[in-house]
Amino acid sequence: MKYQAALERYCVTLAHLSPEAVRERDVRVHIRTLNEFSPATVRVHLSAIKSFHQWLAVERECLDPTLRLKPPKRAERLPRYVNDHEVTQMLSVCEGNGWMAVRDRALIETMYSTGCRSAELRSARIDDLDLDRCIVTVIGKGNRERMAVLSPSAVLALQSWLMVRPTRAASGERALFVSNAGTALSAMGLWKIVKARAEQAGLRQHVHPHMFRHACATSLLRGGADLRSIQLLLGHRSLSSTQHYLHLDDVELKRVHAAAHPRGGAVDTRLRTVGGGGAMDGDGET
């Protein structure tokens, strides 16, 4: 139905031309009339138009005027994440001394503190944990080893879990976190734990383990960490990957600039110029 509506609009715009007479400039003129739509909708319209002209080129042996036309770029969506308040809400529902509550508290604290990937967390073994140094050694993508830093609250939660774990882990199981069966958590198992705790906490958004990785990166930057340090903590090969994880609005970016730049600070909105004159002419970008 979307394609049909797109073609109907196209035919109305170019009703003065026969299909074989349409040229690339005519298609471009039509595309410019779609400026009220989102880039995703424009992509649908252009896809329908291109399919139509491809068919026409074969059936009537005419030129395809859409060969050089490219769809608009997809709008890059920032990945979703949980904020500190939401993490606190999830921790608050892990109440009591039952083994599942103790394990889930340790899981959530560790995910938020380290920013570990699901696979890294699930493959971590008790031998990889060094609570005295507040680190856990994990194996990331490309089989690269790195030390993930544990916060004081994560260390306390893990200490509690290590006291309970021997009663739940299967014989010979070395995985740091175990399931009901006493074996290492599966990807689905971890996802179900996070999903259940988020629902219990009353969070509206669908929460999954990877969102804690984004939350860790964003919290680190807001707390003053530099991008290079965050890159190392998350185990990224490039800074571009790290930047994708950061969620900062304009207000937050200004706060970071004010705190870090030697000329940063509050802005005096009154116009001031050298020599007491008026505002400078021109507004060119440098």
Q: Active-site residues: which are they?
A: 117, 141, 210, 213, 236, 245
Contact yes or no for 48/3 (Cβ under 8 A):
yes
Contact yes or no for 67/122 (Cβ under 8 A):
no
In 3D space, the residue among 218, 211, 220 whose CA is nearest the CA of residue 151 turns out to be 220
Work out whether the CA dihedral 200, 206, 208, 212 comes out positive or negative.
negative
Q: What is d(CA 73, CA 145) in angstroms, rounded to the nearest whole number?
A: 36
**3-state helix vs strand vs coil in the chain, percent to 5:** 55, 5, 40
Q: Which residue has the tokens 């921790």?
A: 91
Q: What are phi and psi of 77, to 5 degrees?
A: -95, 130
Contact yes or no for 181/189 (Cβ under 8 A):
no
Instruction: Report long-range pairs for 7-11 (Cβ below 8 Å, ≥24 apart).
Output: 7/48, 7/49, 7/52, 9/45, 10/45, 10/48, 10/49, 10/52
Q: What is d(CA 14, CA 25) in angstroms, rounded to the nearest whole number?
A: 11
Write the DSSP assignment of 162-223 as a string of letters.
Answer: HHHGGGTSPTT--BSSB-TTSSBPPHHHHHHHHHHHHHHTT--S---THHHHHHHHHHHHHT
